[in-house]
Structure 1
């Protein structure tokens, strides 16, 4: 199963949900067509987010920025 998910939710909401459920993000970006693309570090985390946000998964083709770069979240120091 893919670790990448396209969601109709703001980046901040996706980051907060992943932090709450201790799911590590590899890359996250805003989509030009609206929403967020997130790639998680492991397939189990991706399945967890899919089940939690099943109503917000984008199943249609999305438009990514032609200038997109891998944007990794800032490290969280404890």
Structure 2
């Protein structure tokens, strides 16, 4: 469950997991990046950087998709995404 104005920074979900998100009220914004070898290397560099909090990881990769899930909608993120 997420409360108003909360967020989770870029991360890689546990291996082999898939996730369902359902929005009861408001909306939730996702930034999704394809898990290519290049993007994973960029992520490793970003996550270990002392300036991580000053850089938006989505700006480091070729493509970062923004997805907004609105009230009453459900999102399924399959394993490996």
Q: Which has the higher contact order (CA 8 A, sep 6+)?
A: 2
More helix by share: 1
State whether TM-score is above 0.5. no
Q: Give me the TM-score of the superposition, normalised by structure 1.
A: 0.29
More strand by share: 2
